[in-house]
Amino acid sequence: MNDKPFDIVVFGATSFVGQILCRYLLERYGVGREVKWAIAGRNEAKLVTLKTDLGEGAADLDIVVADASDESALKSMCQQTRVVISTVGPYALYGEPLVKVAVSEGIDYCDLTGEVQWINRMIQRYEEQAKVTGARIVHCCGFDSIPSDMGVFFLQQQANRQFGAACPTVKMRVKAAKGEFSGGTIASMMNVAKEAGSDPKLRKELANPYSLCPRGFRSSRRQHNVKGAEFDEDFGAWTAPFVMGAINTRVVHRSNALQGAAYGQEFGYDEAMLTGKGLKGRATALGIAGATGGFFVASAIKPSRWALEKFVLPKPGEGPGLKAQEQGFFDLRFVGISANGELIRAKVTGDRDPGYGSTGKMLGEAAMCLAFDIDKEARQAGGFWTPASLFGQKGIDRLVANAGLRFELLER
């Protein structure tokens, strides 16, 4: 029985993605009907403005004021809700106090971070306590890494039905996407590059594909990493590095480990972008590989990082308009290779731009899943989970029903 005022609190509601999320929750669930939710942040005036901008339907929406660095205010906020969503990034700079408080208060938490090094720190510092308090922490509930993580889960469910076993090798390829990186995502990526540039230990951690796996999980398989232009025989096309692969692959491997190596102890997984066939496909792949490498090199060096932030990249809080969000989409393709060399193919698509419109809806459904679908039973008790390992089929059902995602098995 819930004796708290709210089921969900959106912390960082006035951020760009936070506003998209709030509009989605209001449109899909209203206020005080299916779900009792509130908006929260440090600036009361901006929260009032957001409530006004949301329209008459938000008249009964409650406001909670709390600063990301004020643990006392965060504790008061967390004591009023069962689930808290955080959109306040870069998380490595601003995210730890809320995770700490959510864990101590035993409430559920989700966010859209893609910062591997920060996630690892949070797991090391707070997972054991979360297991005691019952808090369930689920990072990476946006474009990184729900489509990848849940896509692999979906494909492996189909493989089990078709082959009687999971596929020991899975690849994900971005076939098409339309949208922009958010200013917050860019800021997070640049912060990772900045930290890694001055910390050899962190660079080693970031290079480890199993860095997010629980202690004691062992696999001797050397994971493939698409670093340049490569021709992929299974897709019949050239490929280039996919910048989100650095986080998605780690999350997928953690999902495998948390599910008792359900995909296999020596499971292999990699991601890349499809760039086409022939000389044009190869040239495009070479161009993307060079640009990706150049971005991270420039981000690690102070003068070039300053120039990028000042003159080139979007600022946190900036993003595309509603029309651009609605015209965006993504199409991810998966191939699983069975132990006998048989192939199974699937795709995951989204009906909004990946970094904003679709991410807002995915994050909202992650919180709804935490609040209403997943009982705090022993198998799904406190700890640091991934979307696939905690939400499973219930998460897929929600995403398909409400968030504009589709999971489809393709003909061989």
Distance from first CA to last CA of the chain, Å, rounded?
48
Cα 405 off chain centre by: 14
pLDDT higher than threshold 80 for residue 301: no
| Residue 309 pLDDT | 54
**pLDDT band at residue 299 using 50, 70 and 90 as cut-offs:** low
Residue-level pLDDT at 89: 85
Tens digits of per-residue pLDDT, 7-36? 999 999 999 999 999 999 999 999 988 899
pLDDT score recorded for residue 3 = 84
Are 140 and 149 in contact by the 8 Å Cβ rule? The answer is yes
What residues contact residue 235 under an 8 Å CB cut-off, 6+ apart? 171, 173, 274, 333, 335
Name the pLDDT band for 182 (thresholds 50, 70, 90).
low
Q: Under the phi-then-psi rule, with left for phi > 0, alpha for psi from -120 to 50, and beta for the rest, what region is 252?
A: alpha
The answer on pLDDT for 306 being more than 60 is no
pLDDT score recorded for residue 340: 96
Give the pLDDT of residue 379.
67
Contact 152, 269 (CB under 8 A): yes
* pLDDT at residue 76 tops 60: yes
Quote the mean pLDDT of the chain. Answer: 91
Q: For residue 197, what pLDDT band results from cuts at 50, 70 and 90?
A: confident
Q: Say how far apart CA 318 and CA 362 lie, in whole Å.
A: 20
For the residues 310-337, what does the mean pLDDT come to? 77
> In this model, does residue 201 exceed pLDDT 70?
yes
- Burial of residue 261, with CB atoms counted within 10 A of its CB: 0-12 exposed, 13-18 middle, 19 or more buried: middle
- What number is the average pLDDT over the span 227-244? 95
Residue 220, judged by CB atoms within 10 A of its CB (0-12, 13-18, 19+), counts as exposed
Residues 299-323 have a mean pLDDT of 60
Amino acid 33 reads R
Sign of the Cα torsion 88, 89, 92, 93 reads: negative
Please report which confidence band the pLDDT of residue 383 belongs to, taking 50, 70 and 90 as the band edges. Answer: very high
Contact 52, 81 (CB under 8 A): no
CA angle (80, 83, 87) in 5-degree steps: 105
Q: For residue 254, what is the enclosing H or E element?
A: helix 245-258
pLDDT, tens digit, for every residue of 50-68?
999 999 999 999 999 999 9
pLDDT at 90: 87
Reference 182, options 59, 306, 314, 93; nearest CA is 314
The pLDDT, as a whole number, for residue 316 is 62
Q: Do the strands 108-111 and 136-138 form a parallel or antiparallel pair, or are they unpaired?
A: parallel
How many Cβ atoms sit within 10 Å of the Cβ of residue 289?
21
**Confidence at residue 149, expressed as pLDDT on a 0 to 100 scale:** 98
In this predicted structure, the answer to whether residue 396 has a pLDDT above a threshold of 80 is yes
Phi, psi of 372 (to 5 degrees): -125, -20
Rounded to a whole number of angstroms, the CA Rg of the chain reads: 20
Residue 116 has pLDDT above 60, yes or no: yes
pLDDT band at 205 (very low <50, low <70, confident <90, very high): confident
For 62, phi then psi, to 5°, come to -80, 155
Q: pLDDT: is 246 or 129 the higher one?
A: 129
Give the rounded percent of residues in the chain with a pLDDT score beyond 90: 76
Q: Is 184 exposed, middle or buried (0-12, 13-18, 19+ CB in 10 A)?
A: buried
Is the CB of residue 354 less than 8 Å from the CB of residue 180?
no
Please report the pLDDT score of residue 128 as a whole number.
97
With 60 as the cut, is the pLDDT of residue 187 above it?
yes
8 A C-beta contact, residue 78 and residue 109:
no
Task: Say if residue 295's pLDDT is above 70.
Answer: no
Cα separation, 232 vs 224, in Å, equals 12
CA dist 103 and 377 (Å) reads: 17
- CB distance 325 to 356 below 8 Å: yes
**Closest by Cα among 314, 407, 353, 329 to 20:** 353
The answer to whether the CB of 199 falls within 8 A of the CB of 243 is no
Position 318 pLDDT exceeds 70: no
Q: Is 174 helix (H, G, I), strand (E, B) or coil?
A: strand
User: What are the Cα distances from residue 67, in Å, to 9, 103, 123?
Assistant: 14, 17, 23
- Confidence class of residue 105 from pLDDT cuts 50, 70 and 90? very high
pLDDT of residue 166: 98
In terms of pLDDT, which residue wins out, 369 or 90?
A: 369
